[in-house]
Structure 1
Amino acid sequence: MRIRKADRVMVPAIIALSIIVPVAVLVLMYLPQRYNLFNAQLGSFPFFHAVLNFSTAVLLITGYYFMRIREYKWHRNVMIGAFVLSSIFLVSYVISKISNDPVPYGGEGFMRPVYFFILITHIALSAIIVPLVLFTMYRGLTGENKKHAAIARWTFPVWLYVAVTGVLVYVFMAPYY
């Protein structure tokens, strides 16, 4: 099997980004000091992130619909939109972690384990989604439809779960911001 010339560049780049992004986010969460970039207020970030996650979920479902009815140009455009929103989320999330101290969850009782289950699965799958999305986008945009479809079967439900649970984390945390 011959390796495509573009794959020699893109596959290592995707792997590198897939390692760098989660590690950078993890490091930023544990910064000893915060640097309030753009003089942003904490309250503005979580709601913005929830809107981005909700919008991404809507675009993912819409993109899936267009794929199912074989409207592939619409599918491509909507999925690029979901990727753009997720990228904006990631940049904004990094800025928020640099700028603001973490806010602890203050809930009690039954909701506490529910929240932490959602949070932990959201965080774990957020790291996994980076290479899945990048490889899925790459294979789709290069016209490698069989490879695209094979990985998209995994990417779609994980990405949708991450987007929806991102909104749920906001709903759980809203009283504490």
Structure 2
Amino acid sequence: MSDTITIKEKKFNRLITIVSIIVPIVVALLFGVKIPNVKPLSFLPPIYAGINGLTAIILVIAVWAIKNGNKKLHKKLMTSCIGLSLLFLIMYIGYHMTSDSTSYGGEGLLKYIYFFILITHIVLSIAIIPLVLRTYAKAYLGKYEAHRKLAKITFPIWLYVAITGVVVYFMISPYYTHV
């Protein structure tokens, strides 16, 4: 039994490594692609900011659920968070492939705060991909102790990424140009 889990885990880890490398590269490449003659999807930023906010709320509820012994609810909520993250990513790419990037227009200390939040958000949003996938895989394989250990690292980073996604949106939203 444990040999089967080890083989499955190695396969998962290989796949997780590939996905964790390919997703940021593809996103970066698609950032430079503009679809010509398509109406900009300028309505998407508040929607995907809302998805980030919803993800943060569900993450907290999922932790509450598992601390109260509700494994079934915890699993559903965490699976929902992964689904929401995928939906966010699709919308984010769609927006950037149809719209020009928006520059932050604030000045002074707020500008430095914005860029600090933005940069940490971007770096951690890349780092969270393998963490989420490995944490999920540990639970899927029934390695609950390893899952718990990794979740203690994954949860606060994922929560930070979700919350700062909303913060970044609110800080830059006055500077969006709606076409």
TM-score normalised by the chain length of structure 2 = 0.91
CA-to-partner distance for each residue in 1:15-71, whole Å, 9 max, x for gaps? 000001111222223x1x5116974432x1110111100000000000010111111
TM-score between both structures, scaled by the size of structure 1: 0.92
Letter in 1 for 2:20: S
Name the SS for the 2:69 alignment partner: coil
- Determine the structure 1 residue equivalent to 2:140: 141
Does the 8 A contact of 2:65 with 2:71 survive in 1? yes
The answer on whether the counterparts of 1:49 and 1:93 sit within 8 Å (CA) in structure 2 is yes
SS in 1 for 2:16: helix
CA contact (8 A) 1:136 1:152 kept: yes
Q: Distance in 1 between matches of 2:118 and 2:69?
A: 35
Equivalences for 1:1-177 in 2 at 5 Å? 2=3, 4-29=6-31, 31=32, 33-35=33-35, 39-42=39-42, 44-177=43-176
User: Please, which runs of 5 or more residues in structure 1 have no aligned partner?
Assistant: none
Q: Distance in 1 between matches of 2:34 and 2:90?
A: 16
Letter in 1 for 2:10: R
Seq. identity, %: 37
Q: Tell me the matched-pair count.
A: 174
Q: 1:132 to 1:37 in 2, by over 3 A?
A: farther
Query: What CA RMSD, in Å, does the superposition of the two structures yield over aligned residues?
Result: 1.7
The CA distance in 2 between the partners of 1:127 and 1:141, in whole Å, is 22
Q: For the residues of structure 2 that align with 1:98 and 1:140, how far apart are their CA atoms?
A: 35
Which secondary structure state, in structure 2, belongs to the residue aligned with residue 25 of structure 1?
helix
